[in-house]
Structure 1
């Protein structure tokens, strides 16, 4: 959803690169030291696994193998979470964090190139997610994992949680994306109002031409909408610059060539967006047979907080909870990783730990 904005921001960042490579190297080295796992009980594995017929990158990191396992489903599409490793290092003290670059994304794309990614569709990536889940359960010898999905990844996440409750000990959505087959145009109207007040006539005209029904948009229009929504909101835009782009540029896990693959992957993956615009999460079902959590930025304009809350209110689940991450728009868990971790520790970890203890008896 934020593909065009990331690419535009990357282009801006690239201008002073020649004089900044030394600084980048120092920051990368510091990040690598921070991410080092020395605990004898720990795990730090990064490499390629054959998923859906191609080699896909998977990282497994944590300080204790007995901790609950978290499988992340990243957003974008094509926006790898691997860049946030230094920001989320504290999570690995309490959870084993599994990060996966989907086909068409990051290291998976860089491995074999755009012509060897196979089918890039929502259905294909969904099947990959199921296969990754089974791989992790086998590799780590666990019955179920905590499913944490953010942004566009939460479109997959809801469907995985609904269809496969036996594979997941809990569902946690953040930057939760809720589809309603175009019934609610509140976010579109709010954005029009914001653009009008700011005097952004060019963006206003583009948005009016697109119309409110995302089901009629092209992949380019989906990307344009996200860019306009993000750049016109000060909190989202500041997060893009201070959190997302800095994490991208200083990532200790990525070479300069791999940074290029991240940008190419986000552009390549835009083609997935139109097929999901007609999804209807209410019609697909609000009943979940597993603990259900949404931890949302209190000011999210890309995946609106009020829509996520309305869906949550209709959810039926054995346990459910909704919490706001304060002073956050989109990318809430990465803007305030300490707030997100606190929610995971107080609301999710005790529950899934008790589940594991009960299963072992």
Structure 2
């Protein structure tokens, strides 16, 4: 028994050393096509006090003359900068991209954050305050705002409240009515697994039926992520597990320190993230935000049931805005910015930066 314990202890120590060596926290530079650092580029990790709480972000740009793009990650509480390692977006070639990790998430996690400040209203206020900071730092009258999933929930509300700060709002996997979206996802998965002959997943879903309650049924939530990713309608079309697709890569990402990596998962699994998720379920964005005073563009994967493609498309049709565009990504699920990055960049350049002035529904 003593030998076994000694071996196990050695394995634990070796693994801890491995993680420490994989966690220098050094930001990778912006490189050109030859693999050399781009002169005049920036690649940095910075911390800024936003509404009384220190919050972190990665900033990447090949040229500081680029327009500024503030990216709001999903979750709640789940930074997606780690996906840049496997799915590079290339956005820094056209924008100064700010990968902000929101209050209580990732770089911005702290057990000392007052729990009463972990609200939707506070997240929206933080978004506007950070936009002001970025406008001042980079000398821009306005910036671009891109929200992904949960980030689209707070992003579209920030764009409604402070349109004078933003050139345009871009919703990626735009969230609308999540209670209805969850029902559509459950029905789709049950039918798809039956058609595939996946008796195990059918049995599990039938044993954990969806009900439109807040919070959602515990049995359904325990199965949800695994079912969505097995069905290919989750984070990306090819991601079959959040363990192999996000959890493991997050621990191997050298741009975070070990403490920052712990912060990613402490923030994701915090009670505050659960409370924010329940706030999402209570809110119908179609009712909450019927009008925007900035150009608005939705980028949505055809195979996205994490946030419903059909609901987002219908919402944009009814949303009042000076400029509107809806873009279907045929090879994507929930993250077309990561899954089809070249097309994403092309749309941002051809329509968003140009301010295309009519309703475009691009299939």
Question: Normalization by structure 2: what TM-score?
Answer: 0.79
Distance 1:228 1:68, change over 3 A: same
Written as runs of structure 1 = structure 2, the 5 A alignment for 1:150-299 is 150-179=148-177, 182=180, 185-197=183-195, 198-199=198-199, 200-208=201-209, 210-211=210-211, 213-217=212-216, 223-224=221-222, 226-234=224-232, 236=234, 238-239=238-239, 241=241, 244-245=246-247, 247-268=249-270, 269-299=273-303
Gaps of 5+ in 1: 1-14, 353-361
Distance 2:83 2:185 in 1: 28
Deviation at 1:70, TM superposition (A): 0.3
Distance 1:184 1:227 in 2: 12
Answering whether residue 333 of structure 2 is matched by residue 337 of structure 1, we say no
Distance 1:262 1:322 in 2: 32
Deviation at 1:196, TM superposition (A): 4.8
Single out whichever of 340-349 and 228-237 deviates more from structure 2: 228-237
2:94 paired residue number: 94
Deviation at 1:97, TM superposition (A): 0.3
Single out whichever of 226-235 and 34-43 deviates more from structure 2: 34-43
Single out whichever of 315-324 and 142-151 deviates more from structure 2: 315-324
Distance 2:50 2:220 in 1: 28
Q: Could you list the per-position Cα deviations for residues 267-317 of structure 1 after superposition, in whole angstroms to 9, with x for gaps in the alignment?
A: 112221112212122222432211110111111011121111111111222
From 130, 133, 154, the equivalent of 1:132 is 130
Single out whichever of 77-86 and 232-241 deviates more from structure 2: 232-241
Deviation at 1:63, TM superposition (A): 1.6
Distance 1:45 1:19 in 2: 26
2:8 paired residue number: none
Distance 1:91 1:231, change over 3 A: closer
1:78 paired residue number: 77
Q: Note if contact 1:223-1:270 (Cα within 8 Å) is conserved in structure 2.
A: no
Q: Note if contact 2:173-2:304 (Cα within 8 Å) is conserved in structure 1.
A: yes
Answering whether residue 316 of structure 2 is matched by residue 312 of structure 1, we say yes
Distance 2:52 2:263 in 1: 20
Q: Could you list the per-position Cα deviations for residues 180-238 of structure 1 after superposition, in whole angstroms to 9, with x for gaps in the alignment?
A: 76599433322333355532255324531x41x143526x5684364144233135373
Instruction: Flag the structure with larger Rg.
Output: 2
Q: Note if contact 1:170-1:290 (Cα within 8 Å) is conserved in structure 2.
A: yes
Distance 1:206 1:60, change over 3 A: same
Deviation at 1:64, TM superposition (A): 1.4
Distance 1:258 1:187, change over 3 A: same
2:113 paired residue number: 116
Q: Note if contact 1:35-1:89 (Cα within 8 Å) is conserved in structure 2.
A: no
Distance 1:184 1:263 in 2: 24
Gaps of 5+ in 2: 1-11, 357-363
Distance 1:316 1:235, change over 3 A: closer
Distance 1:80 1:35 in 2: 23
Distance 1:19 1:59 in 2: 25
Distance 1:231 1:205 in 2: 17
Root-mean-square deviation (CA, aligned residues, Å) is 3.4
Q: Point out the structure with the larger helix share.
A: 1
2:7 paired residue number: none
Q: Note if contact 2:306-2:334 (Cα within 8 Å) is conserved in structure 1.
A: yes
Distance 1:79 1:222, change over 3 A: farther
Q: Could you list the per-position Cα deviations for residues 34-76 of structure 1 after superposition, in whole angstroms to 9, with x for gaps in the alignment?
A: 6699444433332211112111102322121221110011101
Matched residue SS, 1:239: coil
Q: Note if contact 2:298-2:325 (Cα within 8 Å) is conserved in structure 1.
A: yes
Distance 1:69 1:153 in 2: 17
- Paired residue total: 330
Deviation at 1:259, TM superposition (A): 2.2
Distance 1:116 1:283, change over 3 A: closer
Matched residue SS, 2:28: helix
Distance 1:100 1:18, change over 3 A: same
